[in-house]
Chains A and B, each alone.
Chain A
């Protein structure tokens, strides 16, 4: 008997419901803004440095791009109900492969980059095959992968660092989009791109609302909508202005932004994306609804491998050498970002925007604490507690909603 079902509270409607169902995302955004402001004030007071200086904002993106890029893939893996512990080792290994091809074999960058992405995809396929078709737990397969690819990295590099690289490869990470309007500050190309992005976000929001209204969906309360967009646009323009007054938009920021938009669209608006959520929510039901669950799990790991190799190249380019120790512990940052971003360990839920905000929260905290001169010991403790707090917040919300 199921009185429990009947006992569940009926869903509230209107603003309350909207706030309730979007509490987490809005809360995370607010938390990010609050953390940034906190460091801004503290760093200025204690160190007398500008936390939001153009240079530091640029640094923030350079330091965190690889986490965000891998977190996009990790979200898919976790939504599908799996985990990938090997991404740090895979990033290191693919970085090493790239360095061999570039330095030892002197291949041009335009050949090397696609080759390495393919290597990443193959690594993902090799792991995904056992997970998807043999049903070996992903935790075990990727734990093995973590060891295997760390070992292969050491072997390939012979314990040495390999570098430096030609400028074109370095620019993958440390390059900036050139200003088409000449070298004067501010960088107009950057300003225009950021303004266009801000306009696009607002436009997409308005169009979405219009369409929802057309279909009779109760839209987000309009005051709320505009307030949220105002915050986003102001933040974006502020960051854009700062970047433009320094060296312009980092290449990696552009790569990352394009990927974020692509993955957000993929997860929320395509049939395949939806099927990954269904598979994570209830694999058996998904299967009996005609969804090819094995193929999708396989795909998420191939995708993860490709993104890990992209991140591996970016890290290698940034360090300007492939090192045996590259990427150690990346998997933890990436997985933490996904869970802070609101994904569920059980699979079936989590959004790209949440993951990006989660990764930025981690990144801003790393950066801010380093500037403040907080030791690595305390940094780890604090990051751990933030992860725990974010997940407790989730669980608390869920039990409250019933």
Chain B
């Protein structure tokens, strides 16, 4: 097989940062080629170089496409050559129809007048290719994320794609949608479409990829053939060290009960149904308690309703915190009572991205840096510096805007913000989502330290290995109920899944 694409010695620098150095990538005609690497390793940058987002001349090295040097000036240029990239964030216009989206900028028109019948006919044909039966006039917003992803692919097909690049295509998809997408990728491969997939999910890569290129710190580490693809090998190449110790050691020193929730029930904010039913749980001093469950099991809703009634209505139940019955009716009261909640989505709910680190850290406890109502900026900076050291936030200065930090460092800023409120119990919702393996390890260490200092830590996570590796006790939630409770010794992935399934059957029987 001949190579459709050769990227040779690609080096791309930004002021102060060398994002790619001497990267080589060779993709054969008709294969599915996976690219793996930690966050920040340079995968997306490489794809932006390829697709002309960073035009020729802004990087060093050579791109050979079909054996000929390619010098793309912009995305249009690369699309002309048949290279289409589908980004993580979908680029569809929600209020336009599927047909309008498919031919956006590429309309089926003569002399500026759109030929709708022909456009719809073509749309139907393209949709059939990706396995969709929706009418071409359906508005994109009516489709789920999975189907939108397929529309994106149909859009690429409309452009006569030869090399399709998918940047973490399944990151936002449910399991069965992911499977459909992977099937479609294999189908397209049979039709001769060469594909590059960027993914974190190693099981998916094993399923579809013919070869894998691993990138670390902006350089190519290895290119593996199908027979060499194993999870261990990829992780080792990605991280550059053995992953035997994915979770830091800790000797738990567990004290008395710190927080107890009894019979917590919450109604959906605008639908007449109960989202949380009779949830009871305890958190002890120095304990890390996990909450497992599938998407939509009510974990986040439970935490947010507890935290100043930030979710739901008709909230009922009792809470005892450090021996007292705290007033948790507003967020500021919950904070005063010693509760902290680190949100699942740190960019949307946790941080003010355009503001500097120090202002984000002080946000939830401005009283802590003020005399009366007057802020002390010096004190604010001292506090920020303290957490920068304690948390190992990697930044040239605490005046750096958080938008410029990596995911892991952003998460450390959020954690700093909440630690500065001096909480007794911290609820961490998906604390390691979207951050790379190295930073995850640091976040685990911070959690262990917090528990060691006598805080109660609640960890909500969809990654079962992480819960099993970190938690002293795990509650399993399903459909808004506690389906069971497992101690560290009892817990295993199988038992967690079994509890969820058994509870589901109970729910159906009832």
Tell me which of A4, A5, A270, A290 contacts B332 (CB under 8 A): A290
Q: Which of A134-142, A276-284, A300-308, A386-394 contacts B (4 or more CB under 8 A)?
A: A276-284
A222 within 8 A of B: no
Residues of A within 8 A of B381 (CB): 215-217
B243 within 8 A of A: no
Tell me which of B341, B354, B404 contacts A288 (CB under 8 A): B341
Residues of B within 8 A of A402 (CB): 404
A7-B331 contact given A212-B378, A288-B310, A402-B404, CB 8 Å threshold = no
Chain A contributes a number of interface residues (CB within 8 A of B) equal to 42
B407 within 8 A of A: yes
Give A1-23 interface residues, CB cut-off 8 Å to B: 1-13, 21
A3-B19 contact given A8-B404, A288-B350, CB 8 Å threshold = yes
Q: Which of B35-43, B183-191, B486-494 contacts A (4 or more CB under 8 A)?
A: B35-43
A271-B354 contact given A1-B44, A9-B14, A290-B308, CB 8 Å threshold = no
Q: How large is the interface on B (under 10, 10 to 19, 20 to 34, 35 or more residues)?
A: 35 or more
- Give the CA-CA distance A2 to B16 in the complex, in Å: 17
**Closest 5 pairs (CB-CB, A-B):** A215-B378, A9-B15, A290-B332, A281-B352, A10-B16
A290-B40 contact given A5-B404, A5-B405, A10-B16, CB 8 Å threshold = no
Tell me which of A1, A5, A10, A281 contacts B43 (CB under 8 A): A1
Residues of A within 8 A of B14 (CB): 7-9
Tell me which of A3, A214, A271, A272 contacts B40 (CB under 8 A): A3
A270-B373 contact given A7-B17, A7-B45, A287-B331, CB 8 Å threshold = yes
- Give the CA-CA distance A33 to B207 in the complex, in Å: 67
Residues of B within 8 A of A10 (CB): 15-17, 396
Give A193-224 interface residues, CB cut-off 8 Å to B: 211-212, 214-217
- Give the CA-CA distance A115 to B325 in the complex, in Å: 46
CB-CB contacts of B351-368 with A at 8 A, as 1s and 0s?
A: 111110001000110110
Candidate in B307, B399, B400 with the most chain A CB atoms within 10 angstroms: B399
- Contact between B366 and A271, CB atoms less than 8 A apart: yes
- Give the CA-CA distance A281 to B356 in the complex, in Å: 11
- Contact between A286 and B40, CB atoms less than 8 A apart: no
- Contact between B17 and A2, CB atoms less than 8 A apart: no
Give A251-295 interface residues, CB cut-off 8 Å to B: 269-272, 274-275, 277-278, 281-282, 284-292
Residues of B within 8 A of A270 (CB): 370, 373-375
Tell me which of B353, B396, B407 contacts A11 (CB under 8 A): B396
Give B369-412 interface residues, CB cut-off 8 Å to A: 370, 373-375, 377-379, 381-382, 385, 395-397, 399-400, 403-407
- Contact between B352 and A9, CB atoms less than 8 A apart: no
- Give the CA-CA distance A215 to B41 in the complex, in Å: 36
A289-B363 contact given A211-B378, A269-B374, A270-B373, CB 8 Å threshold = yes
Q: How far is the CB of A343 from chain B (nearest CB, A)?
A: 13
Chain A: residues with CB nearer than 8 A to chain B?
A: 1-13, 21, 211-212, 214-217, 269-272, 274-275, 277-278, 281-282, 284-292, 348-349, 402
Which single residue of chain B is at the shortest CB-CB distance from A213? Answer: B378
Tell me which of B39, B334, B396 contacts A2 (CB under 8 A): B39
Which single residue of chain A is at the shortest CB-CB distance from B20? Answer: A3
B434 within 8 A of A: yes
Tell me which of A12, A271, A277 contacts B370 (CB under 8 A): A271
- Contact between A2 and B407, CB atoms less than 8 A apart: yes
- Contact between B406 and A6, CB atoms less than 8 A apart: yes
Candidate in A2, A214, A292 with the most chain B CB atoms within 10 angstroms: A2
Tell me which of A1, A4, A274 contacts B366 (CB under 8 A): A274
A281-B355 contact given A3-B44, A11-B400, A289-B363, CB 8 Å threshold = yes
Cross-chain pairs A/B with CB under 8 angstroms, 7 sampled: A215-B379, A269-B374, A274-B359, A281-B354, A285-B351, A289-B363, A348-B352
Residues of A within 8 A of B60 (CB): none
Chain B: residues with CB nearer than 8 A to chain A?
A: 14-17, 19, 37, 39-45, 88, 167-168, 198, 200, 307-308, 310, 330-332, 334-335, 341, 343, 348-355, 359, 363-364, 366-367, 370, 373-375, 377-379, 381-382, 385, 395-397, 399-400, 403-407, 417, 434
- Contact between A271 and B406, CB atoms less than 8 A apart: no
Which single residue of chain B is at the shortest CB-CB distance from A9? Answer: B15
Q: How far is the CB of A53 from chain B (nearest CB, A)?
A: 41
- Give the CA-CA distance A373 to B374 in the complex, in Å: 48
- Contact between B355 and A348, CB atoms less than 8 A apart: yes
- Contact between B16 and A285, CB atoms less than 8 A apart: no
Q: How far is the CB of B305 from chain A (nearest CB, A)?
A: 13
Residues of A within 8 A of B352 (CB): 278, 281-282, 285-286, 348
- Contact between A289 and B331, CB atoms less than 8 A apart: yes
- Contact between A13 and B396, CB atoms less than 8 A apart: yes
Tell me which of B364, B399, B406, B434 contacts A289 (CB under 8 A): B364
Residues of B within 8 A of A274 (CB): 359, 366, 375
Which single residue of chain B is at the shortest CB-CB distance from A398? Answer: B354
Tell me which of B45, B375, B378, B405 contacts A214 (CB under 8 A): B378
- Give the CA-CA distance A7 to B16 in the complex, in Å: 9
- Give the CA-CA distance A289 to B413 in the complex, in Å: 13
Residues of A within 8 A of B400 (CB): 11
- Give the CA-CA distance A246 to B380 in the complex, in Å: 46
Residues of A within 8 A of B168 (CB): 1
- Contact between B17 and A349, CB atoms less than 8 A apart: no
- Give the CA-CA distance A212 to B15 in the complex, in Å: 29
- Give the CA-CA distance A283 to B367 in the complex, in Å: 19
- Contact between B353 and A282, CB atoms less than 8 A apart: yes
Residues of A within 8 A of B308 (CB): 290
A349-B354 contact given A3-B43, A3-B44, A290-B364, CB 8 Å threshold = yes
- Give the CA-CA distance A219 to B470 in the complex, in Å: 44
Residues of A within 8 A of B434 (CB): 2
Residues of A within 8 A of B42 (CB): 3, 6
- Contact between B349 and A288, CB atoms less than 8 A apart: yes
Residues of B within 8 A of A217 (CB): 377-378, 381
- Give the CA-CA distance A269 to B374 in the complex, in Å: 5
- Give the CA-CA distance A214 to B381 in the complex, in Å: 11
- Contact between A11 and B397, CB atoms less than 8 A apart: yes
Q: How far is the CB of A129 from chain B (nearest CB, A)?
A: 20
